[in-house]
Amino acid sequence: MANLKLYVAVANGKTLTKIGKKSADKIVFHNKSSTDSLVVTFNPTNVVKDKHGNSSISSITVLAGGKETVTFESTLGSSVKYTARIGTTTAEDPIIIID
């Protein structure tokens, strides 16, 4: 089982959680809502790939109760910010750091 590292800091006057992962790891987004879709938008988009590691993607939509996997084409120390929103709720905006 992989270790998940969460780094919590202040950036630009805002609390920010950084999620550490190894470059070969995949990230699975699980939508725990039973009614609304989860939309995840990535920035930059050139390092985020679909679940097969093929095409670059800028966002994914996870249906209610579903899950979607993404992979990364990146180098040590690179990062990807993302915004996650379920339905019309306020979005969260953590960042993924490649260890």
Q: Where are the domains of the chain?
A: 24-93
CA of 3: how far to CAs of 6, 13, 20, 22, 50, in Å? 10, 28, 9, 10, 23
Across the range 69-79, mean pLDDT stands at 74
Task: List, in order, residues 6 or more apart from 3 with CB less than 8 Å away.
Answer: none
Query: If pLDDT is split at 50, 70 and 90, which confidence band does 23 have?
Result: low
Across the range 60-79, mean pLDDT stands at 83
User: How far apart, in whole angstroms, are the C-alpha atoms of residue 88 and residue 51?
Assistant: 26
The CATH-assigned architecture of domain 24-93 is Sandwich (2.60)
For the question of whether the overall pTM of this predicted structure is more than 0.85, the answer is no
Which neighbouring-strand residues pair with 85? 39
Residue scoring higher pLDDT (84 or 47): 84
For residue 6, pLDDT over 90 is answered with: no
Across the range 24-42, mean pLDDT stands at 89
Mean pLDDT value across the chain:
80
Query: If pLDDT is split at 50, 70 and 90, which confidence band does 17 have?
Result: confident
Which neighbouring-strand residues pair with 59? 41
